[in-house]
Amino acid sequence: MIVADVILIVLLFTGFAVSHTWLASIKIKEMLAVKIGDKIAFYRMFYNVSSVILFLAFYAVAPKPDIIVYDLRFPFDIITFVLQIFSLFGLIWSTRPISLKEFAGAGQIERFMNGEYRTEDLDEKQILKIEGAFKLVRHPVYLFSILFLGFRPTMNLFYLTMYVCIIIYFYVGSIYEEKKLVKLFGDEYLKYQKHVPRLIPFTKSFVKN
């Protein structure tokens, strides 16, 4: 029964991950842009809202085996909590170069309403900013999200299964994301890839200013 629950969680999460990745693909965005033109500006907001709905649907139907994998005692629970707080600060730091309006989709809609949206931007206007946490790893948001989610004083089987799925999804997602970034930024991003590690810090040299 427990094994079946874990398998079902993985399958349901995989369904969410595949749909999430498919909706984010350049092919889908380019096809939509041909059909709806600059109204593609609304796609990012649609993508974010639909992603939340899909994830909530997955969470609602997924089995939740409440088996405790570990429960840390003092002082290890406090140490873990402190590390989680530090990883939260790292997550905030990693979002600083990112336009939150653009990420949410509000910036695109604002430009559309002002008659300033370029269809070739597809669903977002991307700028390559190699600064802050992006000099540490190429995907700092993924890194600090993994750390924040992993530093838990108590871990049950449902959360652990979810956590492993999320790590795999972040890694695989970063591969697809980088294919788009190479296509967009060309040699500049290829050079960045050579100097900065994907997710594990200090495995390559820092980008030099």
Residue-level pLDDT at 206: 47
pLDDT of residue 49 exceeding 90, the answer is yes
pLDDT of residue 116 exceeding 90, the answer is no
Q: Which amino acid is located at 166 in the chain?
A: I
Query: CA 94, CA 138: separation in Å to the nearest integer?
Result: 10
DSSP letters of 146-175? HHHHH--SEEEHHHHHHHHHHHHHHHHHHH
pLDDT of residue 198 exceeding 60, the answer is yes
Q: pLDDT tens for residues 143-153?
A: 999 999 999 99
Cα distances (Å, whole numbers) of residue 21 to 24, 27, 67, 88: 5, 11, 31, 25
pTM of the complete model = 0.88
At 161, the pLDDT band (50, 70, 90 cuts) reads very high
Decide: residue 193, CB within 10 A, 0-12 exposed, 13-18 middle, 19+ buried.
middle
| Nearest Cα residue to 25 out of 122, 167, 166, 139 | 122
